[in-house]
Structure 1
């Protein structure tokens, strides 16, 4: 998810300057389909990583290999489905978004190469989560940094010098992801990993697939909810403001991505530590990791809030010099980020349950902000006060979502902080809260 967001961010910056606000609107319209790709890869990667980290923590290396081999089988299958979908589903799906002919054509030229490269994205995102799960955070970071830097280098070449516009941005992204695929393959084949791809274990094991799917479902639901949210918001903006406001929202959304990346990085670093120590019954270490993560994301959330309130025009100018877009974006940014200081709690809470394999509360918290709160609020407020209704729906949804997160965290406090339990209760932690 982080890598895809980086690629989309870089693409948007170059497209904004080389193509204009219509290009940004096109990428924004196509982004929900990219989110679906992230949802599938995220579910497989985060679900599998959670299962693998707990297997490794319990000393069950052979079972961890079995899980990993089944994950690789699913990566290939998803890649094939992505190619088929590129030729059969893209045009009908994009037609439902309701944009004008020019913007829609650019959206298609952007998303087609990306869906054709589904196997690269899925493999990269899945294995990155697995590499973190086995404790090699350094190499996991390298596999994110190198393709991101490569994408920054290739974007101006394809978008500007080769004059390929939004399609050039997509091609640069696919090439960048293909590069990391070969890096990671070498890592696993060379024996540097504690995990092994065993062809004999790649045959579908439904028990493993079910366990990975159940644990990964919250990540999938969260991303798909984000896709549905974007489709609804884009439709409301087109209806009550026009394609111009889709472009404005596209810029604001990229700023939101920048702010979320460090918090998602903290979450992804926390999850394997929590999962491993939970499996190893090292509850003190697990508790320390949770407390530290909550403190860091809370501090960062306040910094994000301050930046959005004090320098919104500077943030907008990262992506565009169009004064009309900047003026509209400053208003949108200040409203959307009005309660940004609570975002960190939302990020950590859902991912925390997922790390422990508690799929039900993880799913609820993953869906709450976007599906239970934001989408209904947008549908209620936009017809009444137009574009401003879309912006106001965001802080309202954030307030409701953080209240729900705090309720769950308080209810299950002794699960996350076992030092508050009696010694005999600690032995039953893994059986409780299923």
Structure 2
């Protein structure tokens, strides 16, 4: 399809958001199931239980770093890809995709090697106790072996969506998560492989996803293809796409660092039970917020393309609909955590002590969940339009500048409860700051093309 007739610039914005975001939302929720399903199976497995849950929780920050690298080059590359298509520069768009693919492969291989060398030292640094360390090592050693599969499949999935195939991108994630869900009980229970079985199921499913995506971009179905000539790294292209991906990278990296600090503080104030409980909270948080990530991924090519094409009224339409949708999603999640926290926790483990702590932690941690949808979508607006410095600042404010100091200060004053209530404090303040900067940005947008409110969706 020629860039002049690209539906991103002509189709109704509301229809585009449905077309692109629903598959992305479903896909991200399914992708989140990789880790969540592992925790459910391990938490209920004889001989693993709480220690197995704690083992995965200790290794979870490393899993987040893998996601961060995939998004760094995937989201950054897809953003540059969409902007170049909007500017009617298809060759430069394909160069962005080729460079991103090379960076994904290189970083995945590098991560795999470093992980094998420094695994035990990293896990101890991340708060693993002597009891939990063997469980965590058994799981993460295999996860590191498949690092290149996860990074490449996650990163290139963004290009599949930007290439006009949101449903195919969703099917790709469906395929990988489906394989993981099927293989988990086979490896963990039937073959009695324990932690190693859960990890092996995960990397095999990610390998299948990667092969499926690469078959698309090297095959005949794709509008834009991966060419070997475009895989040769060019400094200008590689640096630009990396810069565009930094907000997504930093939000995940900050999340990883946050989880490390959490694990260390939880171990100090609540022991392994608190670590296991927070692992359950993190799993539920992943399921609740992944729809927002999917919504953001679905709207990103719409916003980036129309921003590049100078169709600011369409950018504004996409933003309004995305914020409304995100708010509805988080409100539903917030209500569920208020009404049935015990039911959610019981999916992972039914130990009375763990149930009591996790149910309380769930309600405390999600106190200000309703404002998070707006904060994430509004921050992404700056990333999708190339304003990376503001996007990075907003990202770091929520999880680094506010939440981390709050965890230390609140825990010293109120102990374990202080750790849990640091999250709503950070959520509320960061949402207020984001709203302030967002209002100024939208006012500037309306000055460039006035009367935006009167346009149809």
- Residue in structure 2 matching 1:384, options 413, 417, 423: 413
Aligned-pair CA distance for 1:126: 1.1
1:103 counterpart = 2:132: yes
What is the CA–CA distance in structure 2 between the aligned matches of 1:155 and 1:416, rounded to whole Å? 49
Call closer, same or farther: CA 1:3–1:125 in 2, change over 3 Å. Answer: farther
- Determine helix, strand or coil for the equivalent of 1:197: coil
Aligned to 1:6: 33
1:311 to 340, 346, 355: 340
Report what 2:101 is aligned to.
Answer: 72
**Structure 1 partner of 2:265:** 236
Does the 8 Å CA contact 1:2/1:264 hold for their aligned counterparts?
no
Q: How many angstroms does 1:417 deviate by?
A: 4.6
CA–CA distance in structure 1, aligned partners of residues 101 and 168 of structure 2? 19
TM-score (norm 1): 0.94
Question: Following the alignment from structure 2 to structure 1, what is the Cα–Cα distance between the partners of residues 90 and 169?
Answer: 20
Alignment partner, residue 324 of structure 1: 353
Partner Cα separation in structure 1 for residue 284 and residue 210 of structure 2: 28
- Say which SS state the counterpart of residue 242 (structure 1) adopts: helix
- The separation in 2 between residues aligned to 1:181 and 1:297, in whole angstroms, is 29
**Change in 2 beyond 3 A, CA 1:122/1:416:** farther
Q: Supply the distance in 2 between the matched residues of 1:151 and 1:196 (Cα, whole angstroms).
A: 28
- Give 1:76 shift: 2.0
Are residue 364 (structure 1) and residue 381 (structure 2) matched?
no
- Could you tell me how far apart the structure 1 residues matched to 2:107 and 2:367 are? 39
Q: Which runs of 4+ in 1 moved over 6 A?
A: none
TM-score by length of 2: 0.90
Q: Which runs of 5+ in 2 are unaligned?
A: 1-27, 453-457
Tell me which residue corresponds to 2:432.
403
Deviation, 1:4, is 5.0
1:143, 1:183 within 8 Å by CA — same for their partners in 2? yes
Distance 1:159 1:403 in 2: 45
CA distance in 2, matches of 1:216, 1:393: 28
Shift of the 72–420 alpha-carbon distance from structure 1 to 2, 3 Å rule, reads closer
- CA change 1:420–1:189 in 2 (3 A) is closer
In the alignment, which of 159, 165, 182 is matched to residue 211 of structure 2?
182
- Residue 246 of structure 2 contacts residue 392 of structure 2 at CA under 8 Å; is this kept in 1? yes
Q: Are residue 248 (structure 1) and residue 280 (structure 2) matched?
A: no
Within 2, Cα distance between the matches of 1:3 and 1:43?
20
Gaps of 5+ in 1: 424-434
Residue 158 of structure 2 is matched in structure 1 by: 129
Please report how far the alpha carbon of residue 101 of structure 1 lies from its aligned counterpart in structure 2 after TM superposition.
1.9
Query: In angstroms, what is the RMSD of aligned CA positions?
Result: 1.6
Greater mean deviation of Cα atoms: 149-158 or 185-194: 185-194
Residue deviations 1:81-108 (CA, integer Å, cap 9, x gap): 0221122121211121233223111111
Give CA deviations for 1:36-88 in whole Å, capped at 9, x if unaligned.
11111111101001000011112211111111111121122112202211221
Structure 1: how far apart are the matches of 2:347 and 2:447?
45
Question: For the Cα contact (< 8 Å) 1:414–1:420, is it kept in 2?
Answer: no
The more displaced of 52-61 and 320-329 is 320-329
Say yes or no: does 1:56 pair with 2:85.
yes
Q: Are the equivalent residues in 1 in contact too, given 2:313–2:449 (CA < 8 A)?
A: no
Query: Is 1:273 matched up with 2:337?
Result: no
